[in-house]
Structure 1
Amino acid sequence: MKKAIFTLVVTFSLIGCGSDSDKPNNKPTESSNKLEAISPLPSSPQHKPDVSYDEQLQLDIEQFVKLAHSVQYFYPSIASQNSDWPLFIAESIIELSQTPEQERADKGLFLLRQIAPYLTTDETLLPEVNDNTEVSTWLQNAPLNQAVYTRTLLTQSYGELKNRDYSSNNLIAEVDYFQEALYFPLYLPENLELQGQTFQQLGRWQLSEEFQHTEICMASVSSMWAAINHFWPYFDQISVNWQNSLPNLLQACTEDDFIQKRAKIYTEFTKLKDNHIIIALPTPEQHVQNKYIPFLYELVEGRAIVVREEKSQQTGVEIGDEILKINDQDIHDYLEDKADSSLKSDLQRKTVPAYTDVFTASLESIEYQIKKPNGQTNTIQVTPKPIEALTRFHGLRYVPRRDEKVEVLSNGFYRLNIYNISSNDTADVLEQLKDAKGVILDMRNYPTDWHGWQTVLSWFINNTAVNDTISYSWQGAPNQTEIKQQPLSQTIQPAQNQFKVPVVALSSRYSQSSNEHSLIFARSGGIPILGEPTSGINGNIIEMGLFGGFNQNSAQGVTFIYTNMKANRLNGDALINAGVKPDILVPRTIQSHRVQVDNQLTAAIEYLKQQLEQ
Structure 2
Amino acid sequence: MINNQDKQSSYGDFGGVYFEFPNTYIGKEMELTVYLKTNEVTGTAGVFYKTDARMPIQYAEVKGVKGTNDWQKISLKKAIKQSHIDQIGIGVMLKGSGTIWVDQVELKIDGQDYKNSTVYTKPIYKADLDKMFDNGSEVEIPSNYNEEDLDKLALLGQFWGFLKYHHPMIAKGEYNWDYELFRILPKYLSVKTKEQTQQILLNWIDSLGTLPHSSKEIENSIAMDWISKYDLNHELQSRLKTIANFPLTEDHYYLTQGRYVPIADYINERPYEQFALPDTGFRLLALYRYWNMVEYFYPYKSLIDNKWSEVLSTHLRPFIDASTELAYELALTALLTELNDSHALLLAGNNAIEQSLGEYHAPIRLNKIEGKWIVTEIYNPELLNGIEIKVGDEVTHINQETLASIEIRNKNRYPASNDAVYYRDLQRDLLRSPKEILNITYLSGNKSKSIDLKLYKRKELNIYYTFKVDRTKKGYYLLNNNIGYITLANVTNEDIEEVKKQFSDTKGIIIDARNYPSAFVPHSLGSYFVCKPTPFLKNLFPTLSFPGAFEFSKELTIKPGETKYKGKVVVLINEVSQSASEYAIMALKAGDNVTLVGAHTAGTNGDTAQVVLPGNRVALIGGAGIYYPSGNVTQREGIKPDVEVNITRKGIIEGKDEVLEKAKELLMR
Query: Shorter-chain TM-score: which interval?
Result: 0.7 to 0.9
In structure 1, what is the Cα distance between the partners aligned to 2:523 and 2:566? 18
Answer yes or no: is 1:409 the counterpart of 2:462: no
Q: Where does residue 52 of structure 1 map in the other structure?
A: 142
- Which whole-Å deviations, capped at 9, do the CAs of 1:383-434 have from their partners, x for residues lacking one? 44344x533238xx97564542112211511201133222222223233324
Q: What is the distance in 2 between the residues matched to 1:294 and 1:112?
A: 60
Q: Does 1:356 align with 2:448?
A: no
Structure 1 segment 99-118 matched on structure 2, within 5 A: 99-102=190-193, 103-111=196-204, 113-114=206-207, 116-118=208-210
Root-mean-square deviation over aligned CA pairs = 3.5
Contact 1:504/1:530, CA 8 A, preserved across alignment: yes
Deviations for 1:534-562, whole angstroms, at most 9, x for unmatched residues?
01121111211123xxxxxxxx3221212
Mapped to 2, the partners of 1:303 and 1:271 lie a distance apart of 26
CA distance in 2, matches of 1:210, 1:93: 22
Secondary structure at 2:290 match in 1: helix
> Of the candidates 471, 484, 487, which is equivalent to residue 553 of structure 2?
487
Structure 2: distance between partners of 1:314 and 1:322: 17
Aligned-pair CA distance for 1:581:
0.6
Measured against aligned partners, the alpha-carbon deviations of 1:423-466 in whole angstroms (never above 9, x if no partner) come to: 2222232333244232111122222222x342222212354331
* Deviation digits for residues 234-286 of structure 1 (CA, Å, limit 9, x no counterpart): 23344421111112222111223655555454344323211211124554385
2:169 corresponds in structure 1 to 77
- Is the aligned partner of 1:323 residue 2:382? no
Q: How much has 1:331 moved relative to structure 2? A: 1.5
Note if 1:179 corresponds to 2:232.
yes
Deviation at 1:371, TM superposition (A): 1.7
Q: Distance in 2 between matches of 1:201 and 1:587?
A: 44
2:535 aligned with 1:535: no
List runs of 5+ in structure 2 lacking aligned partners: 1-128, 254-267
Corresponding residue for residue 656 of structure 2? 597
2:333/2:413 contact within 8 Å kept: yes
- The one-letter code of the counterpart of 2:476 is V
Q: Against the structure 1 CA distance between its residues 207 and 49, is the aligned structure 2 distance closer, same or farther, given a 3 Å change threshold?
A: farther
Distance 1:379 1:507 in 2: 36
**Corresponding letter in the other structure for 1:600:** V
| Aligned mates of 2:183, 2:351 — CA distance in 1 | 23
Whole-angstrom CA distance in 2 between matches of 1:172 and 1:504: 43
How far the C-alpha of 1:107 sits from its partner, in A, is 4.2
Partner residue in 2 for 1:219: 285
> Secondary structure of the equivalent of 1:273?
coil
Alignment correspondent of 1:254: 320
Question: Residue type matched to 2:438 in 1?
Answer: I
1:608: which partner in 2? Answer: 667
Counterpart for residue 333 of structure 1: 405
User: d(CA) in 2 for partners of 1:259 and 1:381?
Assistant: 28
1:231 aligns with 2:231: no
Distance in 2 separating the partners of 1:546 and 1:498:
49
- Is 1:433 matched with 2:503? yes
Helix, strand or coil: the match of 1:491?
Answer: strand
Which position in structure 1 is the counterpart of 2:572?
506
Cα distance change, pair 257–458 in 1 and its aligned pair in 2 (3 A):
same
Give the aligned partner of residue 541 of structure 2: 472
Work out the CA distance in 2 between the residues paired with 1:207 and 1:107. Answer: 31
Matched residue of 2:543: which SS? strand
- 1:522 shift after superposition: 2.0
After superposition, give the CA deviation of every residue in 1:343-383 in whole Å (9 maximum; x if it has no partner). Answer: 112333641343222564521632211122x3332111124
Partner Cα distance (1:458, 1:179) in 2: 56
Cα pair 1:90 1:218 within 8 Å, conserved: no
Match of 2:378 among 287, 292, 309: 309
CA contact (8 A) 2:277 2:325 kept: no
Task: Determine helix, strand or coil for the equivalent of 2:416.
Answer: coil
Instruction: State the one-letter code of the partner of 1:539.
Output: G
Matched residue type, 1:52:
P
Q: Give distance in 2, aligned partners of 1:201 and 1:227.
A: 12
Give the secondary structure class of the aligned counterpart of 1:254: helix
Moved more, 232-241 or 62-71: 232-241
How many Å apart are 1:91 and its aligned residue?
Answer: 5.2
Q: Residue 211 of structure 1 contacts residue 282 of structure 1 at CA under 8 Å; is this kept in 2? A: no
Q: Distance in 2 between matches of 1:44 and 1:409?
A: 67
SS of structure 1 residue aligned to 2:553: strand
Specify the alignment match of 2:452 in structure 1.
381
Distance across 2 between alignment mates of 1:49 and 1:561: 27
2:525 aligns to what?
456
Does residue 368 of structure 1 match 2:437? Answer: no
Q: Which residue of 1 aligns with 2:5?
A: none
The structure-2 alpha-carbon separation of the partners of 1:585 and 1:94, relative to structure 1 and needing over 3 Å to count, comes to: same
Is the 1:214–1:254 Cα contact (8 Å) retained in structure 2?
yes
Is the 8 Å Cα contact of residues 86 and 219 (structure 1) preserved in structure 2? yes
Q: Specify the code of the residue in structure 2 equivalent to 1:241.
A: K
3-state SS of paired residue (2:439): strand
1:401–1:609 distance in 2 versus 1, CA, 3 Å: farther
1:7-59 deviation line (CA, Å, top 9, x unaligned): xxxxxxxxxxxxxxxxxxxxxxxxxxxxxxxxxx9876698375425124433
TM-score, normalisation: structure 2: 0.67
Q: What is the total number of aligned residue pairs between the two structures?
A: 499
Gaps of 5+ in 1: 1-40, 119-125, 131-157, 163-167, 191-195, 548-555
Instruction: Rate the CA distance shift 1:288–1:368 in 2: closer, same or farther, 3 A.
Output: closer
Q: Aligned partners of 2:273, 2:479: CA distance in 1, in Å?
A: 64
Distance of 1:322 and 1:379 partners within structure 2: 12
Matched to 2:633, the amino acid is A
Paired residue type of 2:302: D
User: When the two structures are superposed, what TM-score results if normalisation uses the length of structure 1?
Assistant: 0.72
Partner amino acid, structure 2, of 1:71: L
Residues 191-221 of structure 1 deviation map (CA, whole Å, 9 limit, x = unaligned): xxxxx9xxx999xxx9964444221111001
Residue pair 1:169, 1:476 contacting (<8 A) in 2 also:
no
Tell me the distance in 2 between the aligned counterparts of 1:367 and 1:423.
Answer: 47
CA contact (8 A) 2:469 2:489 kept: no
Q: Distance in 1 between matches of 2:612 and 2:479?
A: 47
**Using a 3 Å threshold, how does the CA distance of structure 1 residues 283 and 250 change in structure 2: closer, same or farther?**
farther
Of 359, 373, 376 in structure 2, the residue corresponding to residue 290 of structure 1 is 359
Aligned residues of 2:418 and 2:602 also touching (Cα < 8 A): no
Hey, what does 2:309 align to over in structure 1? 243
Q: Deviations over 1:463-519 (max 9, x none)?
A: 4331233221325555x3xx2413232111222222212221111111112211221
For the pair shown, the structure with the greater C-alpha radius of gyration is 1
Q: Secondary structure at the match of 2:449?
A: strand
Q: Structure 2 counterpart of 1:331, which letter?
A: L
For 2:84, the equivalent position in structure 1 comes to none
Distance 1:350 1:469 in 2: 27
Aligned residues of 2:571 and 2:596 also touching (Cα < 8 A): yes
The residue that corresponds to 2:258 in the other structure is: none
Q: Percent identity?
A: 18
> Retained in 2: the 8 A contact 1:295–1:358?
no
- Is the CA contact (8 Å cut-off) linking 1:365 and 1:384 kept in structure 2? yes
1:559 maps to 618
One of 493, 498, 515 as aligned partner of 2:581: 515
**1:529 CA displacement:** 0.8
Tell me the distance in 1 between the aligned counterparts of 2:289 and 2:571: 41
Which amino acid letter does the alignment assign opposite residue 336 of structure 2?
A: F
User: What secondary structure is seen at the aligned counterpart in 1 of 2:164?
Assistant: helix
Q: Match of 1:596, SS?
A: coil
Q: CA deviation at 1:570?
A: 5.4
Kindly report which structure 2 residues correspond to 1:149-188, keeping only aligned pairs within 5 A, or say none: 158=216, 168-170=218-220, 176=227, 179-180=232-233, 181=237, 182-183=239-240, 184-186=242-244
More strand by share: 2
Aligned-partner Cα distance in 1 for 2:139–2:173: 30
The SS at the match of 2:554 is strand
